[in-house]
Amino acid sequence: MNRIKRDFYHAPGAPEDLDADYKVTATALDGKVRALAVRTTRLCGKAMEIHGTSPSATVALGRFMTGTLLLAANLKGENDSITTNIRSDGPIRGMTAVCDSLGNVKAYCIEPVVETFHREPGKLDIAAVVGKGILTVVRDLGLKEPYVGSTELISGEIGEDFAHFLGVSEQTRSVVSLGVLVDSGGVRHAGGFMIQLMPDAGQEVAEYLERRATGGFPGVTFLLSEGMNPEKILDMFLGDPEIRYLTGRPVQYACSCSRERMERSLTALGNKDLSELASDPAGINLECHFCGSGYHFDRAEIEEIRSNAM
Ligand code: ZN
């Protein structure tokens, strides 16, 4: 790829590091669609490292985080966040991801080590790992009450489940494509894109996108392995020379846990539970689900939290 081409496919604010994880937004087709794409290779690798996930769980959790990042695109305020949650009957049992408006994401799955199923040689069967269940999305936009919506999983492959959620729960017709490629060396490529129809987009645009989505468009990880960046993937999918890139922003795996936050959640337990905890002479060890950081509270500290909580 020569220098000029690279500059053309560059959203304002996107990092100069060509291998970085980042998210871009764009509009196309006469403003009838909003388009987002993200590369998440490094952050999916980070999640795998933290949680020690097996290949199938790495893919499921990676797709889930990638989808959550795409859903988080309309967060604005510094304290806005989105929490996504799957509870299901497959071996992985469930996943939770949290993303903020600054592009920080963190996640965990209930069972990090699950058996590998294949749909065909070389293609993991993620639906078999996830199973049937419910996807819940909580958007906390700093208002009194967060927006909570949930829908049943329709495929367990996650991308289609996010698109179904957006269509049913938020009345936004969307195409969502997510991909994570793992091999013995870890996460090779990961990313995704989401195309959303504006309310005034007519049937013609909807049908055009439908044809693109079902017409054998290559998977995201294949496009990434061919050296395409998120901007280029949107350009290829939409086929609109007038596509306009609006923003680019780095995304990363980050956890905001701290001793103070752990103290606050202990305080919230209330007197009875804290008394019980304070009865153990060894104190207690708490571990953050998202990053694995450990926090020890000895007996005297728990007693102090208890007396402050009263
Ligand atoms: Zn943490």
pLDDT tens-place values along the chain, 310 residues long: 444 444 568 899 999 888 899 999 999 999 999 999 999 999 999 999 999 999 999 999 999 999 999 999 888 888 899 999 999 999 999 999 999 999 999 999 999 999 999 988 888 999 999 999 999 999 999 888 999 999 999 999 999 999 999 999 999 999 999 999 999 999 999 999 999 999 999 999 999 999 999 988 999 999 999 999 999 999 999 999 999 999 999 999 999 999 999 999 899 988 889 989 888 899 999 999 999 999 999 999 999 998 887 7
pLDDT value of position 48: 98
Q: Which residue reads 């989401």 in tokens?
A: 194
Going by the DSSP 8-state scheme, the letter that residue 106 receives in this structure is E
- Helix, strand or coil for residue 96? strand
Q: Provide the terminal-to-terminal Cα distance of the chain, rounded to the nearest Å.
A: 64
pLDDT value of position 17: 86
Ligand 1 ion: Cβ-proximal residues, 5 Å cutoff: 255, 257, 288, 290-291, 293
**Distance from the CA of 38 to the center of ligand 1, in angstroms?**
23
C-alpha to C-alpha distance for 135 and 151, rounded to whole angstroms? 5
C-alpha to C-alpha distance for 159 and 176, rounded to whole angstroms? 5
User: Among positive and negative, which fits the CA dihedral 148, 152, 154, 155?
Assistant: positive
Q: Are 65 and 105 in contact (CB under 8 A)?
A: yes
Q: Which residues of 45-55 are buried (b: 16+ CB within 10 A; e: fewer)?
A: bbbbebbebbb
**Distance from the CA of 258 to the center of ligand 1, in angstroms?**
7
**Distance from the CA of 154 to the center of ligand 1, in angstroms?**
31
pLDDT value of position 140: 94
**Distance from the CA of 288 to the center of ligand 1, in angstroms?**
5
**Distance from the CA of 24 to the center of ligand 1, in angstroms?**
27
- What's the token pair of residue 33? 């669609």
Going by the DSSP 8-state scheme, the letter that residue 73 receives in this structure is G
pLDDT value of position 1: 41
Amino acid at 73: A
pLDDT value of position 7: 55
Number of H helices, E strands in the chain: 11, 15
Q: Are 92 and 153 in contact (CB under 8 A)?
A: no
